[in-house]
Amino acid sequence: MTNVQATHTDELHVKGKNARQAAAVLGGLHTTAKDEALKAISQGLLDNVPAILEANRADLEAGRRAGLSESLLDRLMLDEARINAMADALNDLTQLTDPVGQVLEDWERPNGLKLSTVRVPLGVVGIIYEARPNVTVDAAALCLKTGNAVILRGSSSAIHSNMALVSVIRSSLATAGLPEDAVQLVEDTSRETAARLFKMNDVLDVLIPRGSAKLIRTVVNQATVPVIETGAGNCHVYIDEAADKDMAISIAVNAKTQRPSVCNAAEKILIHQKWPHTAELVAALQWEGVVVHGDEAVNNLADGVLVASDEDWGLEYLDLEVAIKIVSSTEEAIAHINTYGTRHSEAIVTSSLADAKTFQLGVDAAAVYHNASTRFTDGFEFGFGAELGISTQKLHARGPMGLPALTSVKTLISGNGQCK
C-alpha cells in the first residue's frame, strides 16, 4: 500500500478486530490455560535472548544517533539479566490468584430471581507507554492473566525491541494453543495513529497510559475511551508537634532520598511550628545531597536553605530536592496538602493518635500513612503480587492496582419465567 493514511487505518482496524475476537476466546479460558501460556512466554524469552538483544541493539544505536540521553538509553537497554528478570516475573504471575470468575456477591429477590455478580475480564485493553521494553512483556502478561486481549503502543525508540518481544510472545501463545492476537503491537508509532487509538471506543474497553506526566496528560485530554490514569505524586510528609525526632527524620529522609525519581517519593515536608528539630532535619537532608527550599520560617531556623516560591508547593521535583514549610496545626497541613497535593500518598509522623486520625480522614489521597514512609505505595509492598501502576484518579481503582483492576463484573440472573 502506498497511501500512508490507509495503512494507518488498516493496521488499527485489523488489529482492533483481531483483538475483539481474541478477547472472546480469552474470557472463557481456565486459569491453568492462561498460566501455561505465561510459562510458555517465559521460556520463549529465555530461548530467544540473542534475537531480542540484536533487536535491542538496533534501538540503542538509533537512540545514540538521535542523541538520546544516557538515562533514556539505560531505560531502553536490555541485557541477559533484564530478560531473565522478565522471564521470572512471568513465572511469578502464575502463582497469583486469577480474579476472573470470582463470585463477588450472590443474592435472591422476593420475586424468586437469583442474582450473582462475577468478575469478568475488561475485554480489550490498550496500553500506551514510553521507552522501557520491559513494559511490553509486563503489560502483556498482566492482561493475559486476567483474560484480556491487549493492544500495545510503545515508543518509536523501542520499536525493534518491542517487535522482537511481541513476536516471541505471539509464537509462545500459539505454542500454548492460545490466540496469538491476544497480544498485538501497533507498529505504526506515529502520533496520528496514537490519536486514533485513543478514540477507538468500539474496540478498547480501557486505555492505560504508563509513563511521564506529559504522556498521561495527553491521553486524558485526547481519549474518548475510558482511561485509567496513573499519575503524578507531589507527596508530603507532615511532621506533627508530637513526632518522635528520630522517626520523623528517618521517614522524611527515606521518603525523599530512597528513590527520588519515582511518584511515591516525598516532594514536600510540612513541620508543625512546635516541633523543635527542623534544623537537624534540614542538615540530615543536606547530608544526603538534597537541595532544600523552605519558607521564611524554615530559613530562620536552618542554614543553606533556598527561599521557596509559591510555585514550589505544586512542583514534583523527581530529584534530590525538597521544599519545607512550617504550619501551625494539623488542619493547616491538611488544607495545604488538599490544595497542592496530587492525591497520591501523604504521611503524618506523630505519637498522637487523635492527630493521626484527623489527618487520615481529612487528607484526600489514595494512600494516607501514619508513621511510615510514602515509599510503600506500590502493588508489591501492599502485597498484591503484581502492579499495573498507581491510580491517582478515584474511579474504578485508586492507589496501587493489582490484577482485579483489570477486571469488570457481570451480573447473572436466573429465573423461572419472571416478567416485570
CA distance 27 to 299: 59
Sole window of 64-72, 175-183, 301-309, 393-401 interacting with a copy of itself (rule: CB under 8 A): 393-401
Binding to a copy of itself (CB under 8 A): which residues in 297-356?
338, 356
Which among 186, 206, 190 is positioned nearest to 198, based on CA atoms? 206
Question: For a copy of itself, which residue of 375, 389, 392, 401 counts as binding (CB under 8 A)?
Answer: 375
CA distance 18 to 239: 54
Q: What is the CA radius of gyration of the chain?
A: 24
Shortest distance (Å) from residue 416 CB to a copy of itself: 6
Let me know: does 155 contact 131? Beta carbons within 8 Å.
Answer: yes
Asked if 221 is part of the footprint of a copy of itself (rule: CB under 8 A), the reply reads yes
> Which phi and psi angles does 291 have, rounded to 5°?
-80, 120
Phi-psi region of 123 (alpha: psi -120 to 50; beta: other; left: phi over 0): left
Binding to a copy of itself (CB under 8 A): which residues in 28-67?
28
Asked if 386 is part of the footprint of a copy of itself (rule: CB under 8 A), the reply reads no
Sole window of 33-41, 79-87, 284-292, 394-402 interacting with a copy of itself (rule: CB under 8 A): 394-402
Residue 411 buriedness (CB in 10 A; 0-12 / 13-18 / 19+):
exposed
Asked if 195 is part of the footprint of a copy of itself (rule: CB under 8 A), the reply reads no
Asked if 85 is part of the footprint of a copy of itself (rule: CB under 8 A), the reply reads no
Please, which residue, 175 or 250, has the CB nearer to a copy of itself?
250
> Which phi and psi angles does 177 have, rounded to 5°?
80, 15
Asked if 123 is part of the footprint of a copy of itself (rule: CB under 8 A), the reply reads yes
Kindly state the number of chain residues that form the binding site for a copy of itself, as judged by CB under 8 A.
66
- Report the SS3 class of residue 391: strand
Asked if 14 is part of the footprint of a copy of itself (rule: CB under 8 A), the reply reads no
Sole window of 4-12, 233-241, 246-254, 285-293 interacting with a copy of itself (rule: CB under 8 A): 246-254
DSSP-assigned letter for residue 230: B
If you count them, how many residues does the chain have?
A: 420
Shortest distance (Å) from residue 108 CB to a copy of itself: 9
Asked if 17 is part of the footprint of a copy of itself (rule: CB under 8 A), the reply reads no
Shortest distance (Å) from residue 264 CB to a copy of itself: 9
Asked if 202 is part of the footprint of a copy of itself (rule: CB under 8 A), the reply reads no
CA distance 298 to 294: 5
Please, which residue, 2 or 107, has the CB nearer to a copy of itself?
107
Residue type, 121: P
If you search the block for the grid coordinates 516541633, which residue do you land on? 275
Shortest distance (Å) from residue 160 CB to a copy of itself: 33
Residue type, 332: E
Question: For a copy of itself, which residue of 205, 240, 355, 387 counts as binding (CB under 8 A)?
Answer: 205
Q: Which residues pair with 322 in a beta bridge?
A: 292
Sole window of 68-76, 160-168, 276-284, 406-414 interacting with a copy of itself (rule: CB under 8 A): 406-414
Let me know: does 46 contact 87? Beta carbons within 8 Å.
Answer: yes
Asked if 228 is part of the footprint of a copy of itself (rule: CB under 8 A), the reply reads yes
Q: What does the angle CA 202 – CA 212 – CA 157 come to, to the nearest 5 degrees? A: 80
CA 227 vs. chain centroid, Å, equals 12
Sole window of 6-14, 77-85, 149-157, 373-381 interacting with a copy of itself (rule: CB under 8 A): 373-381
Please, which residue, 88 or 331, has the CB nearer to a copy of itself?
331
Asked if 104 is part of the footprint of a copy of itself (rule: CB under 8 A), the reply reads no
Q: Which residues pair with 269 in a beta bridge?
A: 237, 324
Q: How many beta carbons lie within 10 A of that of residue 15, not counting itself?
A: 22
Binding site for a copy of itself (CB under 8 A): 24, 27-28, 107, 109, 113, 115, 120, 122-123, 201, 205-206, 220-221, 224, 226-229, 244, 247, 250-251, 254-255, 258, 338, 356, 360-362, 364-373, 375-376, 381-383, 393-396, 398-399, 408-420
